[in-house]
């Protein structure tokens, strides 16, 4: 009976969930957070393989052979569960190691990219900052970033953050200088002069004699320029019709018949009408 009870206690202890820190961390790691996604799937398979086995009864009414058989079954189940727990722990360690490897690789890559951006900004900002001390700080941060070594991701992350902060200060200094230059240029520029056109003076027309005469005279065309044409002369008045009849003296003269050869009377007078 003692052997059966010992086996039951061993199985109970083995069946308890593993509460280690590594397993707790591994549960929250996703496939996209590790360098090798197979570590996550391997951990998940190891966890699913665990089956709970309840301890057998060690009642005193059982025979010695039955108690021995129950003890053997429980010892085997406990040993299997202990092996499964070890497999879970190994899988959890693999997940965390793969996560750390990816974190380190990402930190190194981010720092290298940040250094390239910082070097370009350092060159582009020459003469364009309000405070040149910001460029000195960035240059120092670039040098420090180049000296980071080892396998601690935090060291690379800290160097990248230092570069980011120094770059932000340069960008702010460049903005401040640009605004100051724009303000100075606006103050130095002369104010626009508003010129008012002189009013056009026109002389009033003068009236004299029997008609209207303009007070201005057209300019003489000199050097090929255009000048206003002179006003056209007024048309001659039409001859007035003769009084007392609808025909004039020419018609009446032509209607006279000639007398003799000279067209006059025999007494020498030439009458009209």
Whole-angstrom distance, CA of residue 28 vs CA of residue 91: 13
pLDDT of residue 132: 96
Where are any strands of DSSP class E within 74-137? none
Length of the chain counted residue by residue: 273
Instruction: Return the minimum-mean-pLDDT range out of 50-64, 71-85, 212-226.
Output: 212-226
CA atoms lying within 13 Å on the CB side of residue 247: 8
Domain ranges in the chain are 2-183
Entry pTM: 0.59
Give the model's confidence band at 194: pLDDT under 50 very low, under 70 low, under 90 confident, else very high. low
More confident residue, 1 or 271: 1
**Cα–Cα–Cα angle for 153, 156, 157, nearest 5°?**
85
What is residue 214's predicted lDDT score, i.e. its pLDDT? 47
Q: What is the pLDDT of residue 56?
A: 86
For 29-58, the pLDDT digits (tens) are 999 999 999 999 999 999 999 888 888 888
215-247 residue pLDDT tens: 445 444 444 444 445 555 555 555 544 444 444
């Amino acid at each position: 009976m003692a052997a059966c009870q010992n086996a039951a206690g061993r199985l109970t202890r083995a069946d308890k969930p593993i509460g280690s820190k590594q397993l707790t961390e591994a549960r929250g790691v996703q496939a996209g957070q590790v360098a090798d996604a197979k570590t996550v799937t391997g951990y998940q398979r190891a966890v699913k393989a665990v089956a709970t086995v309840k301890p057998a009864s060690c009642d005193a009414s059982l025979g010695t052979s039955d108690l021995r058989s129950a003890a053997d079954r429980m010892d085997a189940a406990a040993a299997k569960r202990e092996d499964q727990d070890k497999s879970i722990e190994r899988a959890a360690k693999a997940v965390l190691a793969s996560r750390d490897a990816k974190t380190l690789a990402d930190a190194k890559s981010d720092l290298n990219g940040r250094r390239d951006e910082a070097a370009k900004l350092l060159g582009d900002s020459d003469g364009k900052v309000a405070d040149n001390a910001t460029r000195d700080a960035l240059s120092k941060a670039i040098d420090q970033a180049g000296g980071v070594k080892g396998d601690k991701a935090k060291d690379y992350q800290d160097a990248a953050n230092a570069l980011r902060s120094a770059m932000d200060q340069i960008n702010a200094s460049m903005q401040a200088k640009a605004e100051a230059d724009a303000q100075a240029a606006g103050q130095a520029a002369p104010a626009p002069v508003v010129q008012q056109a002189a009013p056009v003076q026109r002389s009033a027309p003068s009236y004299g004699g029997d008609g209207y005469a303009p007070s201005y005279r057209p300019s003489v065309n000199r050097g090929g320029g255009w000048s206003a044409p002179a006003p056209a002369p007024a048309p001659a008045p039409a001859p007035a019709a003769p009084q007392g009849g609808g025909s004039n003296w020419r018609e009446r003269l032509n209607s006279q018949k000639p007398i003799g050869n000279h067209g006059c009377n025999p007494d020498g007078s030439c009458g009209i009408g």
